[in-house]
Amino acid sequence: MSTHVVIIGLGLIGGSMARALEKHATVQAVEINPAALKRAPEFGINASQDLSSAVASADLVVIATPLGTFETVFKQVAAHLKDGAVVVDMGSVKQKAVALGQRFFPEGSFVGGHPMAGTEQAGLAASDPELFKGKTFVLTPTTDAERQAAKKVKEILAPLEMEWLEMPPDTHDMAVAFTSHMPLLMAAATARIAQGAIRELPELPKLASSGFRDTTRLAMTNPVLGRDICSQNKDAILHAISAMRYQLTQIEIMVQAETSTAIEMMFEGVGKWRRELKF
């Protein structure tokens, strides 16, 4: 019998996952946005607005809606979840998601998840069945029962061909503050100061080439996602901002003092570290 996977939310992540799994499981998507619902068949996705009947027969429920909707969606899913089914969320902040999962779902039927596979694009039209290949999928079980749920998630989602990594929710949230959320905020800040400088430098856009393009790419991220990240990972983000403020102050001191050797050594050190990341 085919495994029944229900994916709630047909944005970039949910749409990509539905397309990636369609040859390996029976996939049912749930979406309330009329435009996405109308376009779902174009991407080979069976979708409806009926969450209750979809969830009732699911072996795995994937919640891929915005972070701000989690409490409402978790409550709705919990009301219809069958015995033995497992729920995993796709949120980029895990402590609050895990707390909600433990509040609404029976022990061992939920585990927090986060596929590190997003882009600055949003919506079903940007979905890609190859999006997850070779990327890291973080799971955040906190109990033995949740580790068993994580095992089932790995088995069902194996066709995504991701690299699995387990860690505590708070460790995840601090790590992504530095590797994902801070780059998003710095991209927005860089774009914002350039936007503000146009009044005095009207030719500025003509000088914005590859460096500016690459640095500010994330500034085009879905604004709802950016808003929810900042509100739900507040403490970790403030910690990362403090670290960034210190680094900018150090760079400011070096520039003011014209310490060319120190500046060169800084670029040499971070450049070597960045190249060793190999991605």
Least confident of 19-33, 50-64, 108-122, 181-195: 108-122
Q: Quick: pLDDT tens for 8-37.
A: 998 889 889 999 998 888 999 988 888 888
- CATH superfamily of the 171-276 domain: 6-phosphogluconate dehydrogenase C-terminal like domain (1.10.3660.10)
> In angstroms, what CA-CA distances link 123 with 23, 36, 127, 173?
22, 8, 7, 24
Top-confidence residue, 276 or 123: 276
Query: Which residues face 48 on adjacent strands?
Result: 30
Helix H or strand E segment including 72: helix 70-78
Q: What are phi and psi of 278, to 5 degrees?
A: 55, 50
Q: What is the mean pLDDT of the chain?
A: 92
Please say if the pLDDT value at position 1 is more than 60.
Answer: no
4-166, which class in CATH? Answer: alpha beta
- Nearest Cα residue to 229 out of 189, 182, 186: 182
Both tokens of 114, joined, read 């986060």
pTM of the model: 0.89
Least confident of 93-102, 132-141, 269-278: 269-278
Strands 4-8 and 60-63: parallel
Give the C-alpha separation, 198 to 195, whole Å: 6
Name residues whose C-beta falls within 8 Å of residue 127's C-beta, 6 or more positions apart in sequence.
10, 12, 15, 16, 18, 19, 43
Please tell me the predicted confidence (pLDDT) of residue 272: 93
Query: For the chain, which residues make up each domain, given as ranges?
Result: 4-166, 171-276
pLDDT band, residue 256 (cuts 50/70/90): very high
- Nearest Cα residue to 208 out of 227, 193, 221: 193
SS3 32: coil
Please tell me the predicted confidence (pLDDT) of residue 6: 95
Q: Quick: pLDDT tens for 65-93.
A: 999 999 999 999 999 999 999 999 999 99
Please tell me the predicted confidence (pLDDT) of residue 129: 85
Give the C-alpha separation, 52 to 76, whole Å: 8
- Nearest Cα residue to 136 out of 92, 178, 100, 187: 92
Please tell me the predicted confidence (pLDDT) of residue 36: 84
pLDDT band, residue 221 (cuts 50/70/90): confident
pLDDT band, residue 125 (cuts 50/70/90): confident
Place of tokens 């891929």: 64
Query: Which residues face 166 on adjacent strands?
Result: 139
- Nearest Cα residue to 114 out of 70, 73, 63, 161: 63
Give the C-alpha separation, 183 to 225, whole Å: 14
Please tell me the predicted confidence (pLDDT) of residue 147: 95
